[in-house]
Amino acid sequence: MFENLTEKFQRVFKNLRGQGKLTEEHLDAALGGIREALLDGDVNVDVADELLARIRAKALGSEVLLQLSPDQQVLKIVRDELLELLGKHAKPVFAARPPSVWLIVGLQGSGKTTTTGKLGKWLTQGHRPLVVSTDVYRPAAREQLAQVAKAVGVSCWPGAGTDKPLEIAKGAIREAKLSASDVILVDTAGRLHIDDELMAELGNLKRELQPSEILFIADAMVGQDAVHSAGDFHRRLGLTGVILTKLDGDARGGAALSIGRVTGAPVKFVGVGEKYDALEAFYPERIVSRVLGMGDMLTLIERAEQAIDQKKAAELERKLRHSEFTLADFGDQLKQVRKMGPLEQVLGMLPKVGPFANLPRDAQVDESRLKHVEAIINSMTAAEREDHDLIDGKRRKRIARGSGTSVQEVNQVLKQYMQMRKMMKQYGALAAQGRLRGLNKVRGALQQMRQGEEATEE
Amino acid sequence: MITLFGNNEPPPSLLERLKKSVGKTRSEIAARVEGIFAGDRRLDAEQLRRLENALLAADVGVRTTKEMLEVVRQAADQEPLHDTGHLRAALKRQLLGILSAVPAKSNGASADVRPRVIFVVGVNGTGKTTTIGKLAHRLHEGGSTVMLCAGDTFRAAAIEQLAVWAGRTGSELIKQKPGADPAAVVYDGLAAAPARDVDVVIVDTAGRLHTKSNLMQELEKMKRTAAKLVPGAPHDVLLVLDATTGQNGLSQAREFTATAGVTGIVLTKLDGTARGGIVIPIVRELGLPVSFVGTGETVDDLVPFDAQTFVNSLFD
Ligand SMILES: Nc1nc2c(ncn2[C@@H]2O[C@H](COP(=O)(O)OP(=O)(O)OP(=O)(O)O)[C@@H](O)[C@H]2O)c(=O)[nH]1
Ligand SMILES: [Mg+2]
């Protein structure tokens, strides 16, 4: 397996650490590693080289040389430069006078139609969206959007009776006015940036519809060519934003940096799954943190906060301290974790340092096995859940039958519970000794960054 | 007799087409490499650097690029009076060597197995369904009867999309309702194949990220079902890879090969400006042949992969 960007940066910076002063030689060694990391992560080679040249100049010429340790210095410069490319967090734009038109554009297969559905769903909170497909080329494309719209409960203008994209879109605008819809999402056919005729068609749609957003939908798996496709779309249309899709896979998404460089348009959302609510706001800070080895702690903590019932969390903390962690708590924990989203995704967001360094990330987390565990715990009596010592051989058999599993599986769950209990005890002891300052630090940093984000949103 | 993956040279018209489409927009790599080869200069650090960047810009990847450059460097050391022609040839030979080290597999299945069962797999949006349409057309032209099996029961209107291709190519279509178990659709298709007297059954599958274990297991189940009805099925498992894919392509190829037993790659969207260089490390590491390339959205836009043409198109 390839090392990912995060791991590579960590290795590079580990080498830099412990050196009193940053020499040109050290710097070049570090930059070489960073270059490879960026390229493995699909950042365009020209973009990467330009970036490295700037980082080098800044690192050598900077006065902070004396104040920060060498790795901190480089890390800060790298981070700032990457952030610079990604631009500021930006919110979607609505027209001064409704209805607003958002034009959804991109290459074939990038995820335009699914994203249109997600945006439609997202807009239903506070808006009345109308979606329309102008893809008159791909078989069943308009039918696809109609079905997606139905699934997310958003109106769809079928545009029956014509196969001219502009006419279809204009019909949607008339319909929006009649039905008091305030945002029209215009899905377009996927096309190559070098297809002159089809690019001209988009130019025409732009001229006639005066969209407040022209959103470029980009697949996170795209490689070096991103600079060409995004660059051409931008030159012809003037993109206002980018949506990066399929980020739930293991692509490193360096294309975001390439696209940022050639378009200057901010990433406004990211797609993280096939379900229609798998659309998230994009925070450059977070992606950069992830790239630099801090993991996507912010997103993770935010999600954990949403999913975990605060009262239960406090109660759990008390129990931890007094080693009263029961099977019932174990079951609760599982449920909470599952609410945070697919486990693989959650694991992927953890930084690869400290306590998380050795998590088996490649190992596929089998969600169905979690369900078995839950079923087993549900098949226990309340008394058994409070006191695992009660569960003898006979009870194990009963639990296995009740949960549709085997005695071996029940044994395994009990073993896992015991292990977790042991871990929790250690954790509890640590907490009691006040050794969890690290965690509080993370919390503090999170709060600071939040405030920073809010400030930029103004 | 179905010659799907035979070694037969594509007719000149196809060669021309591929050349034209691949060379349509002059690729970065071609421009850069020619810049390097212009004039009889010594191979210096700057030349190597530009050569390296050219390969990287084609998505060949850091590791493979490094290793290929090392060979060029060594060749240059042995022949101090090298000229640009030598270098160009050395690099081409290397690329060709990698790409043709893997024979076009007929995948263990004898050419006259009937029905021949082909699974088409890949991540979302790479061009699976379109490739199936093109493949069906190609088979039809070759005199085979084809059945398409709508195994993507997940994506909205995926069944309708495949139905259009079935209509366009005069293929039989087996489908169930959206949301149905894809393995059940495979079952229906293969159970009906003898009665409908078809030579080839092509199974469309839903796009899935290779990191989702439950979805990958679903593919395994579809395969098991196929094998129960037709011994040895699926005979071909084609991984559809988008030419714009970056380094993630290697991870895709690895995972799909591990769970679905990929037998060949179809590299689509070569009509754009992306060069599809990621197939080089894939072929090198996984020993998978590139079977076809997609060069557009009509039924005719599928041509057998030809290593020489592919390599030449990068330099000519
Ligand atoms: N330019 C070009 N476009 C292609 C090629 N192959 C497929 N496409 C287009 O890519 C888009 C996606 O193709 P599909 O065949 O629907 O892809 P898929 O892999 O079946 O997609 P899902 O089933 O949604 O995962 C469509 O707009 C196709 O027309 C190709 O070789 N060149
Ligand atoms: Mg499909």
pTM above 0.90, yes or no: no
CB contact under 8 A, A138 and B58: no
B124: its two tokens: 């979302």
Of A442, A260, A439, A266, which Cα lies nearest the Cα of A450? A442
Contacts of B302 (CB under 8 A, 6+ apart): B131, B134, B135, B137, B138, B266, B292, B293, B294, B295
| The predicted structure's pLDDT at residue A413 | 87
| The predicted structure's pLDDT at residue A312 | 63
pLDDT band at B252 (very low <50, low <70, confident <90, very high): very high
pLDDT band at B7 (very low <50, low <70, confident <90, very high): very low
Q: Residue A449's CB: how many other CB atoms inside 10 A?
A: 16
| The predicted structure's pLDDT at residue A120 | 98
A146: its two tokens: 């109609």
Q: Residue B312's CB: how many other CB atoms inside 10 A?
A: 19
Q: What is the pLDDT of residues B162-176, one digit of tens each?
A: 999 999 999 999 999
DSSP letter string, A26-78: HHHHHHHHHHHHHHHTT--HHHHHHHHHHHHHHHHH-GGGGTS-HHHHHHHHH
Distance in Å, alpha carbon of B179 to nearest chain A alpha carbon: 13
Q: Which residue has the tokens 């070694």?
A: B7
Mutate to test the interface with A, among B60, B211, B299 (most CBs of A within 10 A): B211
CA-closest residue to ligand 1 atom 24:
B125
CA of B98 to the centre of ligand 1 (A): 28
| The predicted structure's pLDDT at residue A397 | 94
User: Does A364 contact chain B (CB < 8 Å)?
Assistant: yes
| Contacts with B158 from chain A: Cβ below 8 Å | 140, 144
Q: In what order do the strands lie in the sheet with B146-151?
A: B172-174, B146-151, B200-205, B116-121, B236-242, B264-268, B290-294, B302-304
| Contacts with A141 from chain B: Cβ below 8 Å | 157, 161
Distance in Å, alpha carbon of B276 to nearest chain A alpha carbon: 9
B31: its two tokens: 């421009």
Q: What is the rounded average pLDDT of the residues B199-210?
A: 97
| The predicted structure's pLDDT at residue A274 | 93
Of A63-67, A83-87, B253-257, B282-286, least confident by mean pLDDT is A63-67
Q: What is the pLDDT of residues A334-351, one digit of tens each?
A: 776 666 655 555 555 554
Domain ranges, ordered by start, for chain A: 5-86, 100-287, 299-448
Please provide the CATH number assigned to the domain covering A299-448: 1.10.260.30
| The predicted structure's pLDDT at residue A20 | 58
User: Does B70 contact chain A (CB < 8 Å)?
Assistant: no
CA quadruple A83, A87, A92, A94: dihedral, nearest 10: 160
| The predicted structure's pLDDT at residue A366 | 61
Please provide the CATH number assigned to the domain covering A100-287: 3.40.50.300
Residue A185 Ramachandran class (φ > 0 left, ψ -120 to 50 alpha, else beta): beta
Q: Is the CB of B170 under 6 A from ligand 1?
A: no
DSSP code of residue A326: -
| The predicted structure's pLDDT at residue A62 | 66
Type of residue at A274: E
Of A28-42, A291-305, B87-101, B299-313, least confident by mean pLDDT is A291-305
pLDDT at B120 exceeding the cut of 70: yes
A368 or B123, which is more confident: B123
**Ranges of chain A with pLDDT below 70:** 1-22, 62-72, 286-323, 336-367, 423-458
CB contact under 8 A, A2 and B244: no
For chain A, the C-alpha Rg in angstroms (whole number) is 26
Evaluate whether the domain defined by A5-86 bears CATH number 3.40.50.970.
no
Alpha helices in A184-283 (DSSP H): 196-209, 226-237, 255-263
pLDDT band at B2 (very low <50, low <70, confident <90, very high): very low
Q: Which residue has the tokens 């002059």?
A: B26
In chain B, the DSSP E strands lie at 116-121, 146-151, 172-174, 200-205, 236-242, 264-268, 290-294, 302-304
CB contact under 8 A, B214 and A140: no
Of these ranges, A292-306, A351-365, B21-35, B180-194, the one predicted with the greatest mean pLDDT is B180-194
CA of A264 to the centre of ligand 1 (A): 28
In A223-296, the DSSP E strands lie at 241-245, 267-271, 279-281
Residue A107's beta-bridge partner residues? none
Under 8 Å between Cβ of B156 and B144: no
| The predicted structure's pLDDT at residue A386 | 86
Task: For this complex, say whether ipTM is above 0.85.
Answer: yes
CB contact under 8 A, B156 and A144: yes
Q: How many residues comprise chain A?
A: 458
Under 8 Å between Cβ of A233 and A123: no
